[in-house]
Amino acid sequence: MSAGNVILTGFMGSGKSTIGRILAKELNTYFIDTDNLIEYFENRSIKEIFEKEGEESFRKKERYCFEWIKNNVKNTVISVGGGFPVFIPEIKEAGVVIYLKVDFDDILKRMSEDEIAKRPLFQDIKKAKELFSKRDNIYRQLADYIIENRDIDGTIKKIKGIIDAS
């Protein structure tokens, strides 16, 4: 793997964590999921943070997480929460950004009821779809590369090609 980090962005349920874990294993490197890292730092779930402190507080925790990663993490595959690039537009300071593009309807098909239930911003499907449309443009603008995430093997092969070329 090149000297930097690979950062996977995309909407909730786009496969960032799944792809990230497999990719890190294949590259023989580390994997970090920022939502899991925040839950670890806070010793509670993202849903609890949203419910007890609100989204603004959660975004501050994401900022702290970003600064920690930027200053301490190298040669790692990083999956960031769906809003991370929206609220931290300087995300590229921490690594190469790859947007895993998945259509909203495909995300809905992929996610179980339990997965939807644990995502605070996915509780109203109509609002979630509007949020998806807004974020899609931001993901595109901030990405170094955009990959249609249709199947795991194909997506990992494309990402490894990007890494090998850099």
Burial of 11 (0-12, 13-18, 19+ CB in 10 A): buried
Q: Is 44 annotated as a binding residue?
A: no
Q: Is 13 annotated as a binding residue?
A: yes
Q: Is 35 annotated as a binding residue?
A: yes
Q: Is 144 annotated as a binding residue?
A: no
Q: Is 17 annotated as a binding residue?
A: yes
Nearest to 112 by CA among 2, 8, 6, 13: 13
Q: Is 21 annotated as a binding residue?
A: no
Q: Is 16 annotated as a binding residue?
A: yes
Q: Is 52 annotated as a binding residue?
A: no
Q: Is 9 annotated as a binding residue?
A: no
Nearest to 19 by CA among 101, 132, 88: 101
Say if residues 45 and 118 touch (Cβ distance below 8 Å): yes
Q: Is 29 annotated as a binding residue?
A: no
Q: Is 18 annotated as a binding residue?
A: yes
Instruction: Determine how many CB atoms are found less than 10 A away from the CB of residue 127.
Output: 11
Annotated binding site for substrate: 35, 59, 82, 135
Annotated binding site for ATP: 13-18, 119
Annotated binding site: 13-18, 35, 59, 82, 119, 135
Annotated binding site for Mg(2+): 17
